[in-house]
Structure 1
Amino acid sequence: MSGAAVPPAGVPRLPRLVATDLDGTLVRSDGTVSAYTREVLLELDRRDVPVVFVTGRPLRWAADVFEHVGAHGLAIISNGALVWDVTGDRAVLERPIEPQLGLEVCAALRTAVPGTSYAVETMRGIELEPDFMERYQVPDAARRAPVEELFDGPALKLLARHEELAPQEFWDVAEEVTGGRLVITWSSSTTLLEISGPQVTKASTLELLCAERGIAADEVIAFGDMPNDLPMLGWAGTSYAMADAHPTVTEVADHVAPGHDDDGVARVLAGVFDL
Structure 2
Amino acid sequence: MTPRLVATDLDGTLVRRDGSVSSYTREVLAALDLRGVPVIFVTGRPLRWTTPVFEHVGSHGLAIVSNGAMVWDVAEHLPRMTRAMEGDVALEVAERIRTAVPGSMFGAERADGFVTEPGFPTGPEIGATATLAELTGEPMLKLLALHPDLEPDDYWRRAEAAVGDLATVTHSSTFALLEISARGVTKAATLAEVCASLGVDARDVIAFGDMPNDLAMLTWAGRSYAMADAHPEVIACAAHLAPSHEDDGVARVLAEVFGL
Which category of TM-score, normalised to the shorter sequence, fits these structures? over 0.9
Q: What is residue 220 of structure 1 aligned with on the other side?
A: 205
Which of 260, 264, 267 is equivalent to 2:252?
Answer: 267
**What is the CA distance between 1:110 and its match in structure 2?**
0.7
1:65 aligns with 53
| Structure 1 counterpart of 2:162 | 177
Aligned residue number for residue 200 of structure 1: 185
Q: Does 1:245 align with 2:230?
A: yes
Indicate the residue corresponding to 1:108 in structure 2: 96
Partner of 1:3: none
2:85 and 2:139 in contact (8 A); partners too: yes
Pick from 191, 195, 198 the counterpart of residue 210 of structure 1: 195
- Of 76, 79, 83 in structure 2, the residue corresponding to residue 88 of structure 1 is 76
Out of 103, 108, 125, the residue aligned to residue 138 of structure 1 is 125
- Report deviation, 1:60: 0.4
Q: What amino acid is aligned across from residue 231 of structure 1 in structure 2?
A: A
Instruction: Choose which of 226, 240, 249 in structure 2 pairs with 1:255.
Output: 240
2:6 is aligned to: 18
Deviations along 1:89-135, one digit per CA (max 9) or x if unpaired, are: 1100000100011101111111111111000001111111102112x
1:41 to 29, 47, 70: 29
8 Å contact from structure 2 (residues 88, 137) kept in 1: no
TM-score between both structures, scaled by the size of structure 1: 0.93
Deviation at 1:179, TM superposition (A): 3.3
Question: Percent same amino acid at aligned positions?
Answer: 58
Give the secondary-structure state (helix, strand or coil) at the position aligned to 2:18: coil
Q: Which amino acid aligns with 1:126?
A: F
Q: Could you say what the CA RMSD is over the residues aligned between the two structures, in angstroms?
A: 0.8
CA deviation after TM superposition for structure 1 residue 180, in Å: 2.4
Q: Which amino acid aligns with 1:14?
A: T
Match of 1:164 among 140, 149, 152: 149
Structure 1 residue 173 displacement after superposition: 1.2
SS in 2 for 1:52: strand
Q: 2: distance between equivalents of 1:92 and 1:47? A: 24
Unpaired stretches in structure 1, ≥5 consecutive residues: 1-12
Match of 2:173 in 1: 188
Give yes or no for the alignment of 1:124 onto 2:112. yes
Deviation at 1:37, TM superposition (A): 0.2
- Out of 25, 33, 52, the position equivalent to 2:40 is 52
Give, in whole Å, the separation in 2 of the partners of 1:186 and 1:270. Answer: 30
User: Unaligned 5+ residue runs, structure 2?
Assistant: none
**How far apart are the structure 2 equivalents of 1:196 and 1:61?**
18
Quick check: 2:97–2:162 contact (8 Å CA) kept in 1? Answer: yes
Asked if residue 32 in structure 1 is aligned to residue 20 in structure 2, the reply is yes
Residues of 2 paired with 1:75 and 1:39: CA distance? 19
In structure 1, distance between residues paired with 2:128 and 2:16: 31
The whole-number CA distance in structure 1 between the counterparts of 2:107 and 2:129 is: 9
Query: Equivalent residue of 1:233, what SS?
Result: helix
**Secondary structure in 1 aligned to 2:252?**
helix
* Runs of 4+ off more than 3 Å: none
Deviations 1:192-229 (A, max 9, x none): 00000110000000001111111100000000000000
Distance 1:176 1:264 in 2: 34
TM-score normalised to the size of structure 2? 0.98
How far is the alpha carbon of 1:25 from its aligned partner?
Answer: 0.2
Q: Partner letter of residue 206 of structure 2?
A: I
Shift, 1:17, TM fit = 0.4
